[in-house]
Amino acid sequence: MSWTLSRYIAGRFFSALLISLLSVLLIVILVDLIERLRGADATFGMLLWLSVLRAPTLAAKALPFAVLLAAMISYSRLARSSELTVARAAGLSSWRLLAPGVCTAVAMGLIAFSAYNPIAAAMADRYDVLTARIGGDVNRLSVSAEGVWLRQGDRDSQFVIHADSASATATELRDVTFFEFANGENLVRRIDAETAELTQGAWLLRGVDYWDFTLDDAIARVPLNFHQVPTSITPDEVIEGVASPETISFWKLPKFIESLEKSGFSARRHRIYWHAQLTTPLLFAAMMLIGAAFSMRPARFGGLGLMALGCVITGLGYYFISDLSLALGFSGGAPLIAAAWAPPVAALFLAVGLLLHLEDG
pLDDT tens sequence across 45-69:
888 898 999 999 988 888 998 999 9
Furthest C-alpha separation in the chain: 95
The backbone region for 136, taken as left when phi is positive above 0, alpha when psi lies in -120 to 50, beta otherwise, is left
Give yes or no for a contact between 96 and 84, defined as CB atoms under 8 angstroms apart: no
pTM passes above 0.75: yes
Mean pLDDT of the chain: 83
Helices 94-111 and 280-293, packing angle to 10 deg:
150
Closest by CA position to 198, among listed 155, 169, 177:
169
Mean of pLDDT values over 188-213: 87
Mean of pLDDT values over 14-42: 87
Tally of residues, the chain: 361
What's the pLDDT score for residue 304?
Answer: 63
Phi, psi of 321 (to 5 degrees): -65, -40
Mean of pLDDT values over 278-287: 94
165 or 239: whose pLDDT is higher?
Answer: 165
What's the pLDDT score for residue 227?
Answer: 86
| 51 C-beta neighbours (distance < 10 Å), count | 21
Q: Tell me the pLDDT band of 1, cut-offs 50, 70 and 90.
A: very low
For residues 143 and 170, what is the distance between their CA atoms, to the nearest angstrom? Answer: 12
What's the pLDDT score for residue 241?
Answer: 65
- Taking CB atoms within 8 Å and a gap of at least 24, the contacts of 142-148 are 142/243, 143/242, 143/243, 143/256, 143/259, 143/260, 143/263, 143/265, 144/259, 145/259, 145/262, 147/175, 147/263, 148/173, 148/263, 148/264
Range with the largest mean pLDDT of 40-49, 289-298, 324-333: 324-333
Give yes or no for a contact between 257 and 271, defined as CB atoms under 8 angstroms apart: yes
Cβ contacts of 296 within 8 Å, gap of 6 or more: 75, 78, 79, 84, 94, 97, 358, 359
219 or 209: whose pLDDT is higher?
Answer: 209
pLDDT, tens digit (0-9, with 9 covering 90-100), for 327-346 = 898 888 889 899 999 999 99
For residues 172 and 205, what is the distance between their CA atoms, to the nearest angstrom? Answer: 10
Burial (CB count <10 Å: 0-12, 13-18, 19+), residue 148? buried
The backbone region for 159, taken as left when phi is positive above 0, alpha when psi lies in -120 to 50, beta otherwise, is beta
- The residues facing 204 across adjacent strands are 197, 228
Cβ contacts of 252 within 8 Å, gap of 6 or more: none
